[in-house]
Amino acid sequence: MAKQWSFVVVLALLFSIVTACGSNAGNSTGSNSNTSNGNTGESQQAVDGATDTLEKWAETIKSKYDGTEINLAFASHPSTESFQKLTGDFEKLTGIKVKWEVMEETYLKNKQLLDYTGKTGTYDGLMVDGFWMSEYGAKKVIEPLDDYLNDTNLTPDWFDYEDIVPAYRNGISKYNDKVYGVPTAGETRFIAYRKDLFEKYGKTPPATMDEFLELAQFFNGKEDGLYGVSMRAQRGTHAASGLMTLMYNFGGGFINQQTGDVTMTDPKTIHAMQFYVDLLKNAPKDVASYTHEEALSAFTTGKAAMWLDATALAPRILDPSSSEVADKVGFVPTPEGPEGKASALAGWNMSISSLSGNKEATWAFIVYMNSKEKAKEYVLGGGVPVRTSIYTDEELVASDPSYPVQLEALNDANVLVEKGISWIPPHEKLGQILDRVGYYVSSAMSGEISVQEAAEKSQTELEDIVGK
């Protein structure tokens, strides 16, 4: 997928890198703010069959919301561009006018929070990073969506919520077991490897972390200008993100997600940190400056035998116009570690602002844009897949052979979800946590301090941050 995670208040780069509403959902501020738009509870009185096709649903929506305008605050992103391509048909079908405000990710979160704290209610629909979900849910910036999803008049069968990949449904869009967003674009992480080099030297792609390290060491310097692996590792959030790519496979973590206790000096976390540092000894010498972009470039220009990063970037690896190794690449999931399988999970959601005066009209937009009915058109328009039916679509798999491996990696990501562990640590001060962990991990990479010292210093700072 073309998702390119950039630094958003030190949160969104981890992804580059992955609802108390009902018929009167607009009444979250004490007044029936949807009444002026024709929402007086008719959705609960819809005639059977009135929404059993997209066209019939659109007629019903138009009868209630024709002329309503909804305002959106979205990030500059390939998924946004694809949704914008679909907007004209949505407006014609429903009569709802859509006003887009699209901005760089760097500004999006601040803009959304200022709108909420200032109680201006400018926006109806929000594009929300999975990394922000805990904060937005705790602060009530966005509406819980369970009641919308459970109302068949508001969410017809053809939307097919269950078709959304379980890891995305359960891992990036919930807070306190309530749904606060509909996944629109997501990613996990996997390995791309040079099939030509592996065949030349009789190697098979890694299935375990031990094999991953051994292969990185084998290929490092095997040919002139060749390194074993390429990953993101820039000091700060990128280094923390890189560590998280494999940390859970070792059983490590930054904080205990049940108790909130800091776990940086847990032996499993230290083991993961040591592995990450050792692995990157086989990366290009300037890896400590790499974001996901530089890591990708090192691989696509043929400088690395393996690459571990976001599935979002697979299209660029497979594009001959941007990759020198496009016809030489294979993919495998993140290798299994001492504690089993796990994989990264990040992504974007569409959510409804708790201050919106047009909640049901906004939900209609979310339903249309993210439905199974429109999913293929959305992906063909440059959107990022989140649905099982898309990952298994024969035509789309033919154009992107990484799809089956992406789905396998997402199943591994769901293993973590089912354990009750969020790949994105659910803490309101996540940005600070990632920044400090990444700072000390980077210091260990450069040899300024040992991994043990990095763990101890991170432990101390994180205890101050989380108050434990």
- From the centroid of its chain, how far is CA 74? 15
Q: Are 218 and 253 found together in one domain?
A: yes
Question: How many residues appear in the chain?
Answer: 468
Q: How confident is the model at residue 52 (pLDDT cuts 50, 70, 90)?
A: confident
pTM exceeds 0.85, yes or no? no
Q: Are 72 and 158 found together in one domain?
A: yes
pLDDT value of position 162:
97
pLDDT value of position 431:
86
**Burial environment of residue 31 by CB neighbours within 10 A (0 to 12, 13 to 18, 19 or more):** exposed
State the CATH number of the domain containing residue 288: 3.40.190.10
Q: How confident is the model at residue 49 (pLDDT cuts 50, 70, 90)?
A: low
* Average confidence (pLDDT) over 203-225: 98
CA distance linking residue 90 with residue 82, whole number of Å: 13
* Average confidence (pLDDT) over 379-401: 95
Q: How confident is the model at residue 456 (pLDDT cuts 50, 70, 90)?
A: very high
Measured CA distances, 402 to 65, 298, 305, 399 (Å): 41, 19, 17, 9
Q: How confident is the model at residue 384 (pLDDT cuts 50, 70, 90)?
A: very high
Task: Classify residue 414: in a domain, yes or no.
Answer: no
Q: Which residue has the higher pLDDT, 33 or 429?
A: 429
Task: Classify residue 3: in a domain, yes or no.
Answer: no
CA distance linking residue 219 with residue 394, whole number of Å: 34
pLDDT value of position 123:
98
Indicate the average pLDDT of the chain.
89
* Average confidence (pLDDT) over 335-362: 96
CA distance linking residue 401 with residue 395, whole number of Å: 10
Percent of the chain whose pLDDT exceeds 90? 81
Residue 348 three-state SS: strand
Q: How confident is the model at residue 414 (pLDDT cuts 50, 70, 90)?
A: very high
Paired tokens of 442: 């980077």
Q: How confident is the model at residue 35 (pLDDT cuts 50, 70, 90)?
A: very low
Task: Classify residue 1: in a domain, yes or no.
Answer: no
Percent of the chain whose pLDDT exceeds 70? 89
- Look at residue 43 and tell me whether its pLDDT is greater than 90: no
pLDDT value of position 26:
35
Q: Are 60 and 158 found together in one domain?
A: yes
* Average confidence (pLDDT) over 381-385: 94
Task: Classify residue 442: in a domain, yes or no.
Answer: yes
* Average confidence (pLDDT) over 436-465: 97
10-24, 190-204, 359-373, 387-401: range with lowest mean pLDDT:
10-24
CA distance linking residue 299 with residue 174, whole number of Å: 34
- Look at residue 222 and tell me whether its pLDDT is greater than 50: yes
Range of the domain at 364: 12-187+347-405
Q: Are 36 and 163 found together in one domain?
A: yes
The phi, psi pair for 214, rounded to 5°, reads: -60, -40
pLDDT value of position 131:
81
Q: Are 21 and 148 found together in one domain?
A: yes
Q: Are 58 and 203 found together in one domain?
A: no
Q: Are 126 and 96 found together in one domain?
A: yes
- Tokens 């359960």 correspond to 170
DSSP secondary structure string for all residues of 61-77: HHHHHTT-EEEEEEESS
- Look at residue 151 and tell me whether its pLDDT is greater than 80: yes
pLDDT value of position 430:
86
CA distance linking residue 180 with residue 321, whole number of Å: 39
| Structural domain count, the chain | 2
Q: Are 20 and 169 found together in one domain?
A: yes
Write the pLDDT tens digit of every residue in 81-108.
Answer: 999 999 999 999 999 999 999 999 879 9
The phi, psi pair for 2, rounded to 5°, reads: -95, 20
Contact yes or no for 174/128 (Cβ under 8 A)? no
40-54, 65-79, 131-145, 195-209: range with lowest mean pLDDT:
40-54
pLDDT value of position 31:
33
* Average confidence (pLDDT) over 420-436: 88
Task: Classify residue 415: in a domain, yes or no.
Answer: no
- Tokens 């002139």 correspond to 224
Q: How confident is the model at residue 50 (pLDDT cuts 50, 70, 90)?
A: low
Task: Classify residue 2: in a domain, yes or no.
Answer: no
Q: Are 181 and 193 found together in one domain?
A: no
Q: Are 360 and 316 found together in one domain?
A: no
Neighbours of 49 (CB within 10 A): 8
Which amino acid type is present at position 399?
A: S
- Look at residue 28 and tell me whether its pLDDT is greater than 80: no
Q: Are 222 and 328 found together in one domain?
A: yes
DSSP state letter for 8: S
pLDDT value of position 468:
74
